[in-house]
Amino acid sequence: MIKYIAGVRFNAVVTSIATVLVLFSTGCEEPAIEIEDHSESLYFETIGRGQTGDGRDVVEVVARDAESWARLSTSVRPLAPFKKVDFSQAMVALIAIPTESGGYSIEVETVESLDGVITISYLLSEPGTDCITPTALALPSQAVFFKREEGEVRFVRRTEDYSCEM
């Protein structure tokens, strides 16, 4: 049975009201804001990595000259000697994270410069619960060089578990 309201089909009235409600509910939303990234990606290269060292504190530091790097580099033991760096054109970031077991690694993902701030983003990979790792103090580290820049340096750590399941 179809009902009529003042000569208009009831279904048509309900459909019209529903359409108006949809238009009002979506028409008031603010448009999405587009974020433009104006940062400059800086080329970087690994000059050494390791798993041991003397420190038991987190190290996230930049050496801007050879003397600073000489002092800093003695805190970790790379798997192979560190590559040479021309400090007139580059600087070095060293990241070292003390852990209670093996299986951890550090991987610098990006080095970016924006408004006088250099941001070094890196991944700390942790063994998952299905991994068997040696229980021993470790100090995974990575050193990278990148273009010499003035400004504040910030480190951004991202942590991710990996699986040992086959």
Question: Residue 69: is it exposed, middle or buried by C-beta count within 10 angstroms (0-12/13-18/19+)?
Answer: buried
| pLDDT (tens digit per residue) in 130-166 | 999 988 899 999 999 999 999 999 999 999 999 998 7
Please report whether residue 152 resides in a domain.
yes
Residue 71 belongs to domain spanning = 40-162
Please report whether residue 61 resides in a domain.
yes
Provide the whole-model pTM: 0.76
Please report whether residue 6 resides in a domain.
no
Number of structural domains in the chain: 1
Please report whether residue 120 resides in a domain.
yes
CB 145 within 8 A of CB 85: yes
Q: b/e for 88-102, b at 16 or more Cβ within 10 A?
A: eebbbbbbbbbbeeb
Q: What local confidence, expressed as pLDDT, does residue 27 receive?
A: 52
